[in-house]
Amino acid sequence: MTPDSHALRKAKVYEAALTLTAQGISPAAMTIQQLADAAGIGKGTVYEYFASKEEIWQGLARYCFERENERIALRFGGCRTLADLEKELVDYLQEVAAQRMSTYKILAASFGQQGPLPDCTDDCRRQLNAITDELLDRLRAAGEIDPALTTAACHTALFCTVTGGLVALCCSAVSGDALPDLPQNLRDNLHRSLRAGKPKAALV
């Protein structure tokens, strides 16, 4: 079996785990048989690729983080202005909250119960930092970011917008309270944190 087909088989198991968690099945209670059935492969085949369920969760962590980095690189790779970034970031947060947040919360809880996060998180964090640094370099070259801001300050501004936005969107989903001003408020806050030059009269 080629390395590509090997990776594809493993990806099927990871996707099966994500599907089952999205259906409300706790990772702790999930069985290898359930994973095999959801992946459309035999239980023995799962054991050909993974020695234990814990090994699946470790691999799933890397799979999830790497896929998310791929989405981020694709979405923000075309940003050339701060307005581009503001729009794409808000759209991304809404996409995550609507499509993937429940799954990632369940996985995060599962990893926390098992102990430290997998080693791959350091690699994935470095990859995410590289993507972010490339984005910031483009915006600086275009004169879109206050040149007095350090890279660390820019990272903090982005991190605060992402985490604050996700918390607000999740709370809104749980409570059922609509937050119609949230997208524009997130864009305004990010702009005020990073802007170069005079303030905009208004954000469209």
Do residues 85 and 76 touch, judged by C-beta distance below 8 A? yes
Measure the CA–CA gap between 183 and 91, rounded to whole angstroms. Answer: 8
pLDDT for res 144 = 96
| pLDDT per position as a tens digit, 58-111 | 888 888 888 999 999 999 999 999 999 999 999 999 998 888 876 666 656 555
Q: What percent of the chain has pLDDT over 90?
A: 53
- Look-up of token digits 């080629």: 2
Q: Taking the CA atoms of the chain, what radius of gyration do you get in angstroms?
A: 20
Q: Which helix (H) or strand (E) holds 13?
A: helix 3-22
| Whether the model pTM is above 0.95 | no
